[in-house]
Structure 1
Amino acid sequence: MLQINFIKQNADLVKERLAVRNFAHIGLVDELISLDEELRKQKLVSENLQASVNTTSKEIGALMAKGEKEAAEEKKAAVTAWKEEQATVKTSLQALEEEFTGKLLLLPNLPHTSVPKGKTPEDNEVVLEGGTVPQLFAGAKPHWDIIKEYDLVDFETGAKLAGSGFALFKGKGAKLQRSLIQYFLDYNTAAGYTEFAPPLMVNEATAYGTGQLPDKEGQMYHITEDKLYLIPTAEVPVTNVYAQQIVKESDLPIKMTAYSSCFRREAGSFGSDVRGLNRLHQFEKVEVIQLVKPQHSYEVLEEMVNHVERLLQFLELPYRILRLCGGDMGFTSALTYDFEVFSAAQQKWLEVSSVSNFETFQTNRMKIRYKNEEGKTELVHSLNGSSLALPRIIAALLENNQSENGIHIPKALQAYFGAALIEKNG
């Protein structure tokens, strides 16, 4: 959530940066400034009324002590009138505050100055490409055929158990997924990230803290009776671990990692983009999160991008890194890099990670602060990235490493999987 003082002091800049996002309601900036001014006026009226009540109440006591009952009664009448007026002002204030907060929540984060202009994924900038695209043999297949041939994932039973968009991993498919999760967590903890095992459901306040609410309410599974939400990513509960806290400066940066199942309603139902493992309602993902001093956050963003890049290099997958344009960025992000791996059998790029700097957008909602060297309390910056999302990684590994003899396992993963090859009869 943006801070109103920054908006007021930099109104033109805010409008300019929102335009990079192609934000359609730039007029909200002026509306918020006007509402803030009216709120301040109303609060001053309320405070003055309260001060009059307090001062006059003391005078009433003094008059009563002197026996000046008539003068005291006049003062009491004035106090009663002020309290009635104050009640009216408070009702107006509450309505204004609700309107102000509601409109402030509609403003997305401001894009960093390096974010390119654009409206669609086609406008994203390719920053870097790495790895080698494999040349597959003549009978190579897409992963949805491979998993049937090797009996790795059962979509039919998954649909029977839960519905379309849910997968049942089995046998070597379940082992491959478990191996990747363990490898990712070990890789992250070796880099200094503390592992967490978070709840898979969160309350409204937690979902609000990282910006899923109200922006992505329709994309989340909602348990209405208990007012809980199934998490779309471990980022949501793990970042909120430090909500409403003033952390020690000496503890920064705070580095966290977590594996979790993730739940998203928008899986879709048509076309190759959502076929097989390309898009699911439930999937597994390992996340990395950092809370850092503001002056270090973009240095840390590059560090996290390099961290994910090395992971893809160890998995021997062809990849590319994109800087997202303003129109393709998430609501809460100031700058996002997407990672895509190339699926040789599908002949397309598959997104497997996003690494983002949110600056103070999330921490302002969660009130995660620290005291700087001058003793002043200020908000930390939050960052997060997928390290990595499993389904499309598995899809790319199966497709790119298939041979006539079986599916080859990358060297870095063999100790976790316990074999170098998934054989056809395996």
Structure 2
Amino acid sequence: MLQVNYIRQNRDKVIERLAIKNFTQTGLVDEIIALDDERKKVQAAFDNTQARVNSASKEIGQFMRLGQKHEAEALKAEVATLKTNIDPLKTEMTNVEKRLTEKLLLLPNLPSDKVPQGKTPENNIVVREGGVKPTLEEAALPHWELTTKYKLIDFELGTKITGSGFPVYTGKGAKLQRALVQYFLDFNTSAGYVEYLPPFMVNEESAYGTGQLPDKEGQMYYAAADNFYLIPTAEVPVTNVYRDTILKEADLPVKMTAYSPCFRREAGSYGKDVRGLNRLHQFEKVEIIQIVHPDKSDEVLEEMVNHVEKLLKSLDLPYRILLLCGGDMGFTSAITYDFEVYSAAQGRWLEVSSVSNFQDFQTNRLKCRFKDGAGKTQLTHSLNGSSLALPRIVASLLENNQQANGIMLPPALHQYFGAEWIM
């Protein structure tokens, strides 16, 4: 959530940066400033009334000690009148603050100055590429046929049990999932990330804290009886570990990693681009999260990008890194790098990770702060990245490594999977 003081002091810049994200409801900026003016006016009236009650109460005591009962009674009548005004002012202040917060929640994060203009993925900038695209034989199969051939995933059974987008992993397919999760977690913890196993449902406050609400309300599965949301990513519960927390400067950076299933409604998704593992309603992912000193977040973003890049290199997958344009960025992000791997059988790039710096957008919502060396309380910055999302990694591993006699796994997975081949 953007800070009101920043919006007031930088109105024109805020509107200009919102335009980079193709956010058109810029009238909200002036509405927020007007509501903040109203809030200040009500606050001043409340403070003045309360101050007069306090000072008159002291004067009453003085008059009583001096035996000046008439003056004391007159002040008591004034205090009684003032007190009748306090509760309505409190109610008015609460209402104005609620309206102000509701408007603030509708504003996305401002994009960094590094973010390029653009409206669609075609305007994203390829930062660099790595790995070698394999050359497959003409008879090469897409992953949805490979998973059937080697009895790794049963898509039809998932549809029977739940619905489309909920695959059932079987035999070596389930084992490969488990191997990848363990490998990713070990890779992250060896880099200093502390592992968490969070709840897979969160309350409304947690969903607001990381910015899923109100922006993505229709994309999350909702358990109405308990007012819980199934998580779209481990970022949500893990970042909320530090909601309403004041850290010491020496505690920073906080580095966390977590595995979780992810649940996303993805309403309206259909067609050839969502076949097989390309787009699911439930999938597994390992996440990395950092909470850092605001002066360090740009540096940490590069560190996290390099970390994910090393992980992809270890899987021997061809990849590319893209800097997202304003129109392709998420609501909460100030800057995002996407990672894509090349799917040889499909002849297309598949997104497998996003690494984002949210700056103080999430931490302002979360009230995640730290005390600096001078004892001043400041907002931290938060960052997160996929490390990695499994479905499209699996799709690329299967397609790119298929041979006539089986699927050859990269050496990094041999220990975890317990074999070099899927046959």
The reply to whether TM is greater than 0.5 is yes
- Superposed, 1:324-403 pairs within 5 Å as 324-403=324-403
Corresponding letter in the other structure for 1:381: H
DSSP 3-state at the match of 1:419: coil
Identity of aligned residues (%): 66
CA distance in 2, matches of 1:353, 1:403: 27
Contact residue 32 and residue 104 of structure 2 kept, 8 A: yes
Query: What is the rounded CA distance, in whole Å, between the counterparts of 1:268 and 1:134 in structure 2?
Result: 33
Q: Give 1:267 deviation, angstroms.
A: 5.7
In the TM superposition, residue 67 of structure 1 has moved relative to its aligned partner by: 5.1
Please say if 1:157 is aligned against 2:157: yes
Q: Partner residue of 2:224?
A: 224
Stretches of structure 1 that go unaligned for 5 or more consecutive residues are none
Distance across 1 between alignment mates of 2:91 and 2:282: 44
Structure-2 separation of matches of 1:168 and 1:126: 35
Whether the 8 Å contact between 1:267 and 1:279 is mirrored in structure 2 is: no
- Is the aligned partner of 1:274 residue 2:274? yes
RMSD of aligned residue pairs (Cα, Å): 1.4
State the distance in 2 between where 1:414 and 1:309 align.
20
Q: Is the 8 A contact 2:152 2:172 kept in 1?
A: yes
How far the C-alpha of 1:214 sits from its partner, in A, is: 1.2
2:128 is matched with: 128
Larger mean Cα displacement after TM superposition, 20-29 or 283-292: 20-29
Q: Could you tell which deviates more after superposition, 181-190 or 62-71? A: 62-71
Cα deviation digits, residues 199-236 of structure 1 (max 9, x gap): 11111111111111111111111111111111111111
Distance 1:115 1:233 in 2: 24
d(CA) in 2 for partners of 1:402 and 1:144? 13
Name 1:74's counterpart in structure 2: 74
Using structure 1 for the length normalisation, give the TM-score: 0.96
Residue 48 (structure 1) shift: 0.7
Could you tell me which residue of structure 2 aligns to residue 59 of structure 1? 59
Structure 2 runs not aligned, ≥5 long: none
The answer to whether the aligner puts 1:93 opposite 2:93 as a matched pair is yes
Query: Is the contact made by 1:264 and 1:281 (CA closer than 8 Å) also made in structure 2?
Result: yes
Partner of 2:111: helix, strand, or coil? coil
**What CA distance in whole angstroms lies between the structure 1 residues aligned with 2:180 and 2:92?**
56
Specify the SS of the correspondent of 1:266.
coil
Separation of aligned partners in 1, 2:362 and 2:325 = 20
d(CA) in 1 for partners of 2:161, 2:64: 77
Question: What one-letter code is carried by the residue in structure 2 that aligns with 1:421?
Answer: W
Letter in 1 for 2:336: T
CA deviations on 1:125-174 (whole Å, 9 max, x unpaired) are 11111111111112111111111111111112112222211011010100
Letter in 1 for 2:182: Q
Question: 2-side partners of 1:255 and 1:202: how far apart?
Answer: 21
Q: Is the 8 A contact 2:206 2:236 kept in 1?
A: yes
Partner of 1:110: 110
Q: Does 1:211 align with 2:211?
A: yes
CA contact (8 A) 1:165 1:267 kept: no
Tell me the number of residue pairs that the alignment of Structure 1 and Structure 2 aligns. Answer: 423
* Alpha-carbon distance change, 323 to 269 in structure 1, aligned in 2, over 3 angstroms: closer
Tell me the CA shift for residue 393 of structure 1: 0.5
Deviations 1:290-336 (Å, cap 9, x if unpaired)?
11111111111111111111111111111111100001100110000
Instruction: Compute the displacement of 1:9 (Å).
Output: 1.6
Tell me, yes or no, if structure 1 residue 246 matches structure 2 residue 246.
Answer: yes
Is this contact kept in 2: 1:268–1:274, CA < 8 A? no
Instruction: Judge conservation of contact 2:248–2:372 (CA < 8 Å) in 1.
Output: no
Instruction: Kindly indicate whether residue 264 of structure 2 is the aligned counterpart of residue 264 of structure 1.
Output: yes
The letter for the 1-side match of 2:367 is K
Deviation at 1:33, TM superposition (A): 1.5
What's 1:197 paired with? 197
* Residue 374 (structure 1) shift: 2.7
Structure 1 residue 70, shift from structure 2 partner = 4.2
User: Which residue of 2 is the match for residue 322 of structure 1?
Assistant: 322
Return 231-240 or 29-38, whichever deviates more: 29-38
**Contact 1:267/1:274, CA 8 A, preserved across alignment:** no
- Displacement of 1:65 in angstroms is 4.9
Which amino acid in structure 2 is aligned with residue 140 of structure 1? A
Q: What is the rounded CA distance, in whole Å, between the counterparts of 1:58 and 1:269 in structure 2?
A: 68
More moved, 154-163 vs 103-112: 154-163
Q: 66-75 vs 370-379, which deviates more?
A: 66-75
Distance 1:81 1:145 in 2: 80
Give, in whole Å, the separation in 2 of the partners of 1:19 and 1:268: 26
Structure 1 Cα separation of the partners of residues 389 and 360 of structure 2: 25
Which range moved further: 353-362 or 46-55? 46-55
1:182-210 CA deviation, whole Å, 9 max, x = no partner? 11011101111111111111111111111
Contact 1:261–1:283 at 8 Å: present in 2 too? Answer: yes
Alpha carbons 1:324, 1:335 under 8 Å: kept: yes
**Cα offsets for 1:324-356 (capped at 9, x unmatched):** 000110011000000011111111111000000
Name the residue aligned to 1:10: 10
Could you tell me how far apart the structure 2 residues matched to 1:421 and 1:392 are?
A: 19
Assess if the C-alpha contact under 8 Å between 2:332 and 2:361 holds in 1: yes
Q: CA separation of 1:300/1:248 partners in 2, compared to 1, >3 Å: closer, same or farther?
A: same
For 2:284 and 2:354, how far apart are their aligned partners in 1?
Answer: 15
Residue matched to 1:43: 43
| Letter matched to residue 16 of structure 1 | E
1:172 is matched with 172
Secondary structure of 1:286 counterpart:
strand
Q: Tell me what 2:309 maps to.
A: 309
> Under a length normalisation based on structure 2, what TM-score does the superposition of the two structures give?
0.97
